[in-house]
């Protein structure tokens, strides 16, 4: 959501990490424009990163994360 401060902090990290992990699909969803997606995934706070592996939720992270934390989560999940 454009009004979300932690989301604004995460965006450049998210974009940078997405460029270095070509085999991982990165997508962002505006919960204000897509409330059904947030509800379906049980998103209660933003930013929420949901990691899917083989079509199933494998992990999730809520709140702003550092680049190192995001890299570690990707390594742990994939």
Helix H or strand E segment including 20: helix 5-20
Q: State which residues form the domain around 47.
A: 5-77
Question: Is 56 annotated as catalytic?
Answer: no
CA distance 34 to 78: 27
Model confidence, pTM: 0.90
Residue 29 · residue 50 · CB < 8 Å = no
Select which of 4, 11, 24, 62 is catalytic. Answer: 4
Question: Is 4 annotated as catalytic?
Answer: yes
pLDDT under 70: residue ranges of the chain: none
Select which of 7, 10, 64, 70 is catalytic. Answer: 7
**One-character DSSP codes across 26-70:** -----TTT-HHHHHHHT--SSSEEEEEETTEEEEEEES---HHHH
| pLDDT on residue 49 | 97
CATH label of the domain that carries residue 28: 3.40.30.10
Number of domains in the chain: 1
| pLDDT on residue 1 | 87
């Amino acid at each position: 959501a454009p009004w979300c401060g932690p989301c604004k902090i995460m965006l450049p990290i998210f974009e940078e990490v997405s460029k270095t992990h070509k085999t991982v699909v990165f997508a962002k969803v505006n919960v204000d424009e897509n409330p059904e997606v947030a509800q379906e995934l049980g998103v209660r706070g933003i930013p929420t990163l949901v990691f899917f592996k083989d079509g199933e939720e494998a992990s999730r992270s809520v709140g702003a994360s550092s680049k190192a934390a995001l890299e570690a989560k990707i390594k742990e999940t994939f």
